[in-house]
Amino acid sequence: MTEEIIIAGFGGQGVLSMGKILAYSGIMQEQEVSWMPSYGPEMRGGTANVTVILSDERISSPILTEYDTAIILNQQSLDKFEKAVKPGGLLIYDGNGISHHPERKDIRIYRVDAADEAGKLGLAKIFNMIVLGGYLKVNPVVELDNVIKGLKKSLPQRYHHMIPDNEKAIMRGMEIIYPVKGS
């Protein structure tokens, strides 16, 4: 198994930390992992992305041009990465702020309205965990137990009291994600 993922959105949406939690979850599941952030001028302009690879084998290139899965949190990232999903691959996006929706017919497209849901739950800070939950519902690359262990490893001790809320957010994401018809 090798899963090559791009997570992309605005800086501050928790893109990099979602990737980190996913990578830690992979470690808990005894997978090989890599996490490669954008750190260049694009990031300083407000967008952030991270490539996460989970694999049973030694990982070669941490930099890719096409992905099994794209997790997309804003319009710029959708415009940039929709075309980078491998045929048959998976695209998950949050509809918040999206005016041009994905159009490809040769990939599986799912929508998770995590920003709205986070607002309703009053859990804006863990919006990214709702997205992660949605992804894990569609593609359970790591088991939920290992995600919780990954959270414990990646969050500093002072945030450990927030783990139940994170777990709740993941569960909620699993419930609200839905396939976009016609994809």
Partner 1 sequence: MGELKLMKGNEAIAEAAIRAGVDAYFGYPITPQSEVIEYLMVEKPYETTGMVVLQAESEIAAINMVYGAAASGKKAMTSSSSPGISLKQEGISYMAGAELPCLIANVVRGGPGLGTIQPSQADYFQATKGGGHGDYHMIVLAPASVQEMADFVSKGFDLAFKYRTPVMILSDGLIGQMMEKVILSEHTPRWTDEEIIKLSPWATTGKPASRERNIITSLDLDPYRQEEHNIHLQKKYKEIREKEVEYEEIMCEDAEYLFVAYGSSSRIAQKAIKLGREKGIKAGLLRPITLYPFPSEAIRRLSQQVKGILSLEMSAGQMIEDIRLSVDCEMKVEHFGRMGGVIHSPAEALQALEEKIIGG
CB 118 within 8 A of CB 124: yes
Q: Are strands 67-72 and 2-10 parallel, antiparallel or unpaired?
A: parallel
Which residues in 1-40 contact partner 1 (CB under 8 A)? 20, 23-24, 27, 32-37, 39-40
Which residues in 55-94 contact partner 1 (CB under 8 A)? 59-65
Q: Which is nearer to partner 1, 76 or 154 (by Cβ)?
A: 154
CB 128 within 8 A of CB 107: no
Q: Which is nearer to partner 1, 122 or 156 (by Cβ)?
A: 156
Smallest distance from the beta carbon of 28 to partner 1, in angstroms? Answer: 10
CA distances (Å), origin 136, targets 22, 63, 85, 100, 113: 10, 23, 17, 25, 15
Smallest distance from the beta carbon of 91 to partner 1, in angstroms? Answer: 20
The residues binding partner 1 (CB under 8 A) are 20, 23-24, 27, 32-37, 39-41, 59-65, 153-154
